[in-house]
Amino acid sequence: MAHETILYEPADGIARITLNRPEKLNAISWQMQQELQAALWEADRDPSVHVVTLQGAGRSFSAGYDIEPPRAQGMTHAAGHHTMERDIWGLEQATLMRMTLWEMHKPVVAGIHGHCLAGGTDVAFLCDVVIAAENARIGYPPVRALGSPVNHMWTYLVGPMWAKRLLLTGDAVSGVEAERIGLVLKAVPAERLGEEVRDLASRMALIDVDLLAAQKRIVNMALELMGARTMQRMATERDAIARQAPVVTQFYSMAKEKGLKAALEWRDSKFGDGRAAKKAEEV
């Protein structure tokens, strides 16, 4: 199947998927979500594929959802003329596409670098294992003026206090800090990220696909017993509710009048560098 926004390369038991809109910092469009879902199911059906890797081309994994213009991609927002229920329907369609990462039988290893923000985290944290570049920037700044994460794995990965610390401010953490709090498995120098992802995927590829599926699904079942699967639908609905806040309409109005860059600056400038924590060696 031909793709325009991703690359799909199966070889040696590994299906390598790359988000491929580098000129947009891999902003996640409706088309990209459709193509990613199709590629994931293709890998899941392919008996020669044991494991999938997911990375981003260019300078970032993904800077978030492509919100300019949102409605042209089949997506809506609170500043439009749709009811909240219609908004939920649209958001749920996108959530179902991303949940393929969870539902598929084969494991997915994500390697994140540069920006992994907003929608980028919605995708990355549904993967089975996440490895980050030490200097990656990871967070959900849209909570400042646009809503809440459509997917929510934050509490399951880092616990309630760090989840609140990050989602109540929109601040970001580096890959180093993300490793320390359990948001990612491991942080490595940026130049070693691809190698680290390949090495781990290659080890998984040595295991029989049926056994890989069994291990992935039992861990996910444990998370489902803790409400993780239901939480994704609840997070989708909560985002639609959160986007009724007046500040959301204000943001989109400013973006329409002055441009998205100006709206983002208005949203984020008061937070300085937007970092949740610094280690001595990062200062």
- pLDDT by residue (tens digit) across 81-98? 568 899 899 999 999 999
How far apart CA 68 and CA 84 sit, in angstroms, is 20
Residue type, 38: A
Two tokens, residue 234:
């609840």
Q: Both ends of the chain: CA-CA distance in Å?
A: 46
- In whole angstroms, give the CA distance from residue 70 to residue 52: 29
Q: 69 preceded by cis ω (within 30°)?
A: yes
pLDDT tens by residue, the chain, 283 residues: 689 999 999 999 999 999 999 999 999 999 999 999 999 999 999 999 999 999 999 999 999 999 865 444 444 444 455 688 998 999 999 999 999 999 999 999 999 999 999 999 999 999 999 999 999 999 999 999 999 999 999 999 999 999 999 999 999 999 999 999 999 999 999 999 999 999 999 999 999 999 999 999 999 999 999 999 999 999 999 999 999 999 999 999 999 999 999 999 999 999 998 899 765 444 3
pLDDT at 2: 84
Give the pLDDT score at 76.
44
pLDDT at residue 242, as a whole number:
95
Residue 138's nearest CA partner among 162, 108, 104, 161 is 162
**Gap between the Cα atoms of 282 and 175, Å rounded:** 11
User: Residue 10 and residue 65: Cα distance in Å, rounded?
Assistant: 26
Residue 130 dihedral angles phi and psi, to the nearest 5°: -125, 125
- What is the per-residue pLDDT for 270? 95
Place of tokens 């059906």: 45
- Helix or strand run (H / E) with residue 54: strand 51-56
Instruction: Give the 3-state secondary structure of residue 55.
Output: strand
CB within 8 A of 96, min separation 6: which ones?
Answer: none
If one counts every other C-beta atom within 10 angstroms of the C-beta of residue 160, the result is 9
pLDDT of residue 81: 54
Q: Mind spelling out the 3-state secondary structure of 20-70?
A: CCHHHCCCECHHHHHHHHHHHHHHHHCCCCCEEEEEECCCCCECCECCCCC
pLDDT of residue 83: 85
What are the structural domains, with CATH classification, of the chain?
6-282 (3.90.226.10)
Amino acid at 39: A
Q: What are phi and psi of 212, to 5 degrees?
A: -60, -45
Both tokens of 259, joined, read 């441009």
Element (H, E) at 108: strand 108-112
